[in-house]
Structure 1
């Protein structure tokens, strides 16, 4: 139930949610099944109803809706709310499933942990159903809060100011799209009130122990949808430029090392050049984010000096020679991982290894340089770099046993990939010998002007 009911807005504003849903459906490359993540809150419930109305009345009958509620099991009321949402969807003729977060919950970082679990469960359901994508009810208010939090963490650059992307690829397998990023939460609630629909208010949304709640309660309510467009376009253009720089000036050697041309290493002060180098370093180091400000400053200072030599930062060796800048993993902190039969694991956040054999298989570091030399050296990697880098890759690289498959992991992009970074991610994937990422099922609002967000 809503905590309070404000007076409904004029009818034209109430139904802007449906108009937005219709524009969104028009942006799909082909129609199909759409999975909506619904909690019973106003945003997700409004999204489901607006899309249901658009499909019923707007000529989009080739689309089908399904819904999933993730019960995080953090409140006593959550099971009841999930059941109520299931009943609501059933009355609309919409298939609904509930997935529960079982097991122990972390004492700290609960919201971040819940996010990872939630998207993993949603992705599982989407794949089982054969859905084209997952939709969430994030609004313009959520966008403003996200950017305000980034500003508070001293991230005022163009990348941070872009906020949430209108689409994010999760786990390399399913796109999560956000059709309502251009709508205020008040507009969605007005739409629900016009239909005499209620919603659940999660009490955690009023808990100032969470950063987002503090920001939400303290920030100005005056947010214009177009104020984020320029920052989003800047981030997209940056990703495009980084992809071009990597295509011209970077060479990958099967996850062993990366070579960066001296011309790119020498322009480290340029924001896009720095982003390109730090992105590659994150992948080599098995990191899900580029180096922070302090580490990035040390790397920049080293490269700006223009002298040959080596330094280590972020688990990566930066080996600068006359022939180029070489990046490879440091020899410290490398794990031993045992993979059970028919199992898989990500080793050192850098290699996805599968074991289809009948026995457990233990992966440890330290490949034989002699087994690695021929290919990389023929491709232009100095022998000394091969020998150094061999110590930090799986021991069997160069002679993969039967029943074992291995491919590079790209921690920077594999879990959450914002759509405006897709072109950069595809170029990184190519450098590491991997296929392109799954393309989104909708046209790109920034580059193709579909205008659905």
Structure 2
């Protein structure tokens, strides 16, 4: 149904809260090229005055022909009168995990291009076929949280700075190709999409061979509801002290049979531990058994100590493998995956706090048990002028904020309510809202 492509493009543009500039990530493949052409056609009417299109091609420089393909995309954009920018990934590439590294680099460069063009968002051509592959891959390695079926979100915030929108998630690739074919427009096929060395290519081939149509995608509605409920539970039962310790009421600590609470607690644990991902299924099962038992004691999982006491549960970073970080004058860095630190003056050295530092007294003043305060203070950041090192006192010329590891790089739109709640608990502002109406602002209250 070629007309479905135009319908999807128009529906996407109508979802904006105000007209804006859209940067289309275009590789030259059918999906992204179809997105660019459909949006260009939709913007040819007076209905969408105030909108504009720009485009960016990321050349990963992994194939000899990639530079010529990027140039050809640029020429195609010029024919349409759409400003186009090419970003090239320079230097040596990692030998392992190349697809994950390429994904991160691609979004980095797209975000830079969006800043250059002053675009309000990035639009990508992900399709229902991509969604089905993603759901299959995530389902195979679901971490016991039961949310792999949510798939990709229609909106994703990258790096706390730019929203990535996916207007074609309900369209089949075949429809997009029929749309382009009807207009006499060709495209490139990336050979890596068929390379069995990559998980997605294997899953794609398996889905094609099975011939079974996957069940209808629920659009992440269950995930949205789960995240909203998790946010309420966190607000009611969890408090964060100095960005170092999360305290949970004793009556809630053992309720790991509640999937929303379990995911909420594991997400907070990932923040405390400076991790971007939750622990694996086996670890969560062991931890759940420990917490459900109600027995006092301590268990470590994902670099986090879960300290169960009669008065409640306390989470804090384990005091091992703490790094030393140097930050140059007026520069920023992330220490231990937990704190973003910016020098407002000279160069700084960040290491772990000494045993009797100021953090301990602040945690005790906050009402924490002395044993918890002592252990947690040992993993607090000690910030000193670089030429003084561990002998100096905390430098006044440093800005410190907590890093929310699971969401500060990739925030799926359907987790925004829970992410905002966690950010506020850790003394941060809410995340930026998307430029489109995602229906969550009213839910968040």
Q: TM-score range by the shorter chain?
A: over 0.9
Higher RCO structure (Cα 8 Å, ≥6 apart):
1
Give the match's secondary structure for 2:43. helix
CA–CA distance in 1 between the matches of 2:195 and 2:116?
Answer: 35
Give the match's secondary structure for 2:342. strand
User: Residues 386-406 of structure 1, C-alpha deviation per residue, up to 9 Å, x if partnerless?
Assistant: 111011111249974132111
Pick from 281, 284, 300: which aligns with 1:312?
300
Pick from 421, 427, 434: which aligns with 1:440?
434
CA contact (8 A) 1:158 1:234 kept: no
Give the match's secondary structure for 1:145. helix
For the pair 1:18 / 2:12, whether they are aligned, the reply is no
List gaps (5 residues or longer) in structure 2: 385-391
CA contact (8 A) 1:236 1:421 kept: yes
Pick from 409, 412, 418: which aligns with 2:412?
418
Q: Which residue of 1 aligns with 2:60?
A: 72
CA–CA distance in 1 between the matches of 2:242 and 2:211?
Answer: 50
- TM superposition shift of 1:172: 0.8
For the pair 1:115 / 2:103, whether they are aligned, the reply is yes
- TM superposition shift of 1:446: 7.5
- TM superposition shift of 1:384: 2.3
Q: Which residue of 1 aligns with 2:373?
A: 386
- TM superposition shift of 1:91: 1.1
Pick from 263, 268, 273: which aligns with 1:275?
263
Pick from 332, 339, 342: which aligns with 2:320?
332
Q: Which residue of 2 aligns with 1:42?
A: 30
Pick from 363, 380, 399: which aligns with 1:376?
363
For the pair 1:228 / 2:217, whether they are aligned, the reply is yes
Q: 1:352 to 1:155 in 2, by over 3 A?
A: closer
Aligned-residue Cα RMSD (Å) equals 2.0
TM-score (norm 2): 0.93
User: Residues 165-205 of structure 1, C-alpha deviation per residue, up to 9 Å, x if partnerless?
Assistant: 11111011111110000000000000001110000111111
CA–CA distance in 1 between the matches of 2:120 and 2:442?
Answer: 20
Pick from 223, 227, 239: which aligns with 1:239?
227
- TM superposition shift of 1:22: 0.5
For the pair 1:298 / 2:292, whether they are aligned, the reply is no
- TM superposition shift of 1:51: 0.4
Q: Which residue of 2 aligns with 1:55?
A: 43
CA contact (8 A) 2:339 2:401 kept: yes
For the pair 1:406 / 2:400, whether they are aligned, the reply is yes
TM-score (norm 1): 0.92
User: Residues 302-361 of structure 1, C-alpha deviation per residue, up to 9 Å, x if partnerless?
Assistant: 101101111211111111112210000000010001111222111000000112323x31
Map 1:252-263; keep pairs closer than 5 Å: 252-263=240-251
CA–CA distance in 1 between the matches of 2:145 and 2:400?
Answer: 37
- TM superposition shift of 1:378: 3.5
User: Residues 151-170 of structure 1, C-alpha deviation per residue, up to 9 Å, x if partnerless?
Assistant: 33356864101111111110
Q: Which residue of 1 aligns with 2:138?
A: 150
- TM superposition shift of 1:383: 2.6
CA–CA distance in 2 between the matches of 1:255 and 1:24?
Answer: 39
- TM superposition shift of 1:418: 0.4
